[in-house]
Structure 1
Amino acid sequence: MAEDMTIESYLAAGGVLTNPTNVPPRYRAELMKLMATFVDSELAGAAGFADVINAGPGIKERIAAAKIVLEKTDNADRVLRVMAEFGVDADRYASHHPWTARLERDADIGMSRSDHDMRLAVFNYPLDGWVDSVVMNVLMSRAVVIQLTEFSLISYQPLAEAFRAILPVETRHSELAVEGALKLAQEGATSDMQKSAGYWWPRVAASFGSGASNKAATLKEMGLRRTTNSELKTRWEVEASTVLESLGLKRP
């Protein structure tokens, strides 16, 4: 960083930070929020999906589900190790929140966060059997890939590197979800799948946040965002619609 530049102007010009010692307070707060949201969502998502492993109709499906649970937990650990550099007790963190806690199925909390942690709102809702879990994974995994593609370019280099390592893992989860859904569709489960798609579509869409965020410009200046929530959501809607159509389903 040039000596006559402030950290703020350095970041606005596309600079990167590499360790906690030169991170400004506001940047740190936004960075910690981003990391906590990812870690909590991965741990809550893994906990919820673990409950349906044995609902898988065959060994192959159960292996795929167990693999997703394992790898999501490992993804959370990758980012948690970055949080630990900022003083977070990584060993205590994983056991500190009720990751399996869920609301009633008919609850509607919009984009509200849990009272317990920073998970995305979608991970407060319970899965309803195997078909429902597969459809949820089809929609949410596509959202995760889009969001990780964005976060892989952020200005805090250690976290960007962690996200770049996680991205192909989550991409494979998305592929596994579509493979599982295609098999279900071929077996005649499209009616139940369409019902689940109608349930999960608005809840996954809400994970992109508000399209009218007042912080968008600030986050862009910090190098923590490049694309707006509404643009990411639109990208997801197009891609998710295409996937649903390939399964013989309609966009809700």
Structure 2
Amino acid sequence: MTSDADTMPLEDYLAQGGKLTTSENAPPRYRGELLRLMATFVDSELAGAAGFADIINQGPGIKERIAASRIVLEKLDHAERVLAVMGEFGADISRYANHHPWAERVARDSDLGAARHGADMRLAVLHYPLQGWLDAVVMNVLMGQAVVIQIEEFAGLSYQPLAEIFRAILPRERRHTELGEEGLRKLLEDAGNRPQIAAALAYWRPRVAASFGRGSSAHFETQRKFGLRHTGNAELAAAWERQVGKLLHAIGIA
């Protein structure tokens, strides 16, 4: 923590862009909110990787399977990086990877909204099952855009070591969205896939949108005071809708 933190209340220091550099400087409420944020990210990466791993061998060619494998590998790596920071805050990370059934999914026709489900902290959208390669590609395109927007937000948070990790993984997550878009464009080369793509978009789009949470959130207000968040859920969701609309228009399926 810099010396500026000694001349004003911590919340004011953080809200004005101040940074913490070690876990020892973090007060209890800050630690709690930061751990919640990290657990949601780690659990979502582990659950996302587990779901996508089951789809790898359904890829139509070697190139597609390599792309899917890369996404799974890097999501696990991102989870491991953030999990290491959780360990610095006292979280038991020794058996974390096996603590929850990451591949477990609800029934396809379930409607969880934005509510948490089960014992882990993954985003609700990652409780729904993928149904084949085409469905997985569409989900990855939509969710990939959402992940990039969220990580752009986290890249500016006030705990500097974690912000640096998010800045490092952001280009890789952007590449995941590019791989998804490449896969979707290839699927669109077969006009017979268009009805299935439209159905997958109709299924996943509202579920991914719900992952941004409610427009007003007590957790957001607390995180904003601590410099852990800066942009509200509704603004992030609107940015995602604009990005998705632009993308779908560009590839001719808006």
- Whether TM-score is above 0.5 comes out as yes
State the TM-score bracket (shorter-chain normalisation): over 0.9
Q: Who is 2:99 aligned against?
A: 96
State the Cα distance separating 1:186 from its structure 2 match: 1.1
Residue 159 of structure 1 aligns to a residue whose secondary structure is helix
Q: Which runs of 4+ in 1 moved over 6 A?
A: none
TM-score of the two chains, using structure 1 as the length reference: 0.96
Counterparts of 2:140 and 2:67, CA distance in 1: 12
The within-5 A match list for 1:3-18 is 3-18=6-21
Q: Does 1:33 align with 2:28?
A: no
Give the partner amino acid of 1:239.
Q
Q: Who is 1:209 aligned against?
A: 213
State the Cα distance separating 1:117 from its structure 2 match: 0.1
State the Cα distance separating 1:19 from its structure 2 match: 1.1
Counterparts of 1:216 and 1:76, CA distance in 2: 22
Distance 1:51 1:175, change over 3 A: same
Residue 163 of structure 1 aligns to a residue whose secondary structure is helix
The within-5 A match list for 1:76-91 is 76-91=79-94
Report Cα offsets for 1:142-172 as digits up to 9, x if no partner: 0000110010000000110010011001000
Give the partner amino acid of 1:219.
Q
Q: Who is 1:109 aligned against?
A: 112
Counterparts of 2:36 and 2:14, CA distance in 1: 18
**Selected match of 1:196 from 182, 195, 200:** 200
Counterparts of 1:115 and 1:242, CA distance in 2: 34
Give the partner amino acid of 2:244.
A
Report Cα offsets for 1:194-240 as digits up to 9, x if no partner: 10000000000011011022343332221011111100100000101
How many residues were matched structurally? Answer: 250
Counterparts of 2:214 and 2:162, CA distance in 1: 24
Residue 91 of structure 1 aligns to a residue whose secondary structure is coil
Q: Who is 1:249 aligned against?
A: 253
Unaligned runs of 5+ residues in structure 1 are: none
Q: Who is 1:120 aligned against?
A: 123
Residue 94 of structure 2 aligns to a residue whose secondary structure is helix
The within-5 A match list for 1:62-77 is 62-77=65-80
TM-score of the two chains, using structure 2 as the length reference: 0.96
